[in-house]
Structure 1
């Protein structure tokens, strides 16, 4: 099998030696080409070339969720067609690795490589659904291009936290859980829409969901991890269904304490709940509008401020080695 290994050299939890050992192990079973990313968006370009070239059968992403997102967007540059596109495989190398772990991959580079080789030998794969987010016609954000996401997107509070973390990382800070906790506190203290949210969710054939202060879109469960603890914002979310949404209408100290505790103690059977929580399951199309520009993120990548984002859940979008 002809394969392309896309390596992010800045991956949080891998060293040059580890990457060399991994490449050597994969090359023993595959006709392997190794490409190292050199700039933001390079993984997307490499995956697009592999998809359009017609000879690559497998693209392996070695890196965190951001690298995986770029590879997926490159593979799906011309749209989903699982039967003709290269398969995707993921070796986790980031700080959280939500997509890989949601697929059942070990959260260790060496173990994940062994798991991948076993899966290739057994021909073990699945087809997963993904999400698309983009501009909304008739709004100031209409010209924003569509972009695929693998596990989550968010408009509002959580995206603001991610933006703060990215700023700290650009200053040389490591992506650690204490860093995230500090940025959650800072985002809360500076959140201007804690008591009355500005976000409205609209979908065809249903009443709008209004005054949301936080909106998290999930394509799978868990939504994220705190160390080894999975966090279930939308426990019913799945790669086999449409998109799920968790919206919160209040971010007061009491509400944040309550919902934060529920998130930390969440399970596959029970997520955040309460009179200020709105949960929606298996949505195909919907739009989030905000009365004020809010931070927006996809797969943990801060994408700036938005006032309107349209979402589509696409079933059976891509084949993945598991």
Structure 2
């Protein structure tokens, strides 16, 4: 099988020696080409070229969720076509690796490589659904190009946390879970709309849901991890269904304590719930509008401020090796 290994040299959890060992292991079973990313968006360019060359059968991401997201957007540059596009697989190399772990890979690069090689020998693969976000027509964000996401997106509070983490990383801080926790507290103290939300959720044929402070859009479960602890924003979320959404209409200290505790103790059967929580399952399409520009993130990548985002759940978008 002809394969492309896309290596992010800045990945948090792998060393140059580890990456070299893994590439040699993969080359023993594959006709392997190795490409190292050199700039933001490079993995997307490599994924697009792999989708267009007609020869590459598999693209393997060695990096974190951001690297995976870029490759997916490159592979699907011309739209989803599972029967034509190369398969995707992941060797986790980031700090959290939600997508890889949701597919069932160990959160350790060497162990995951072993699982990947076994999957290739046994022909194990599945087709997963993905999320697509774009600027709605007739909005201030109409010109924003569509972008795919693999496991989650966020609009409002949680995207603000991601933005703060990225600012700290640009200053040289490592992406650790204590860093995320500190930025959650700082975002809460600075959040101007925590008592009166500005987000409205609109769905075809349904009444709008208004005054949300934050919204988390999930394509799989868990939503994320705190260390090794999985957290489930909306139980039942799956790569085989549409998108799920958790919205909160208040972030007072009492609400943060309540819903934070519920997230930390969430299970595949039970997530955050209460009078200020909105939980929706298996949505094919919806739009979020805000009265003021709010931060927006996809797969842990902060994408700036938006006043509106249109979401679509696309089933059977891409084949993955598992």
For the superposition of Structure 1 and Structure 2, which TM-score range results when normalised by the shorter chain? over 0.9
Deviations 1:284-309 (A, max 9, x none): 01000000100000000000000000
Find the aligned partners of 1:17 and 1:291 in 2 and give their Cα distance.
50
The corresponding residue for 2:85 is 85
Find the aligned partners of 2:72 and 2:177 in 1 and give their Cα distance.
26
The corresponding residue for 1:254 is 254
Aligned residues: 322
Find the aligned partners of 2:138 and 2:8 in 1 and give their Cα distance.
38
Deviations 1:88-125 (A, max 9, x none): 01000000000000000000000000000000000000
The corresponding residue for 2:290 is 290
Find the aligned partners of 2:263 and 2:99 in 1 and give their Cα distance.
19
The corresponding residue for 1:204 is 204
Find the aligned partners of 1:140 and 1:80 in 2 and give their Cα distance.
27
How far the C-alpha of 1:236 sits from its partner, in A, is 1.4
The corresponding residue for 1:143 is 143
Moved over 2 A (4+): none
How far the C-alpha of 1:235 sits from its partner, in A, is 1.1
Find the aligned partners of 1:112 and 1:270 in 2 and give their Cα distance.
29
Alignment of 1:290-309 (within 5 A): 290-309=290-309
Alignment of 1:106-185 (within 5 A): 106-185=106-185
Find the aligned partners of 2:178 and 2:87 in 1 and give their Cα distance.
36
Alignment of 1:1-322 (within 5 A): 1-322=1-322
Find the aligned partners of 2:248 and 2:141 in 1 and give their Cα distance.
23
Find the aligned partners of 1:154 and 1:61 in 2 and give their Cα distance.
23
**TM-score w.r.t. length of structure 1:** 1.00
How far the C-alpha of 1:146 sits from its partner, in A, is 0.1
Q: Which runs of 5+ in 2 are unaligned?
A: none
Deviations 1:225-255 (A, max 9, x none): 0000000001111000000000000000000
Deviations 1:259-289 (A, max 9, x none): 0000000000000000000011000010000
Find the aligned partners of 1:157 and 1:12 in 2 and give their Cα distance.
25
Find the aligned partners of 2:86 and 2:18 in 1 and give their Cα distance.
25
Partner SS for 1:144: coil
Partner SS for 1:117: helix
**TM-score w.r.t. length of structure 2:** 1.00
How far the C-alpha of 1:177 sits from its partner, in A, is 1.0
Find the aligned partners of 1:241 and 1:57 in 2 and give their Cα distance.
26
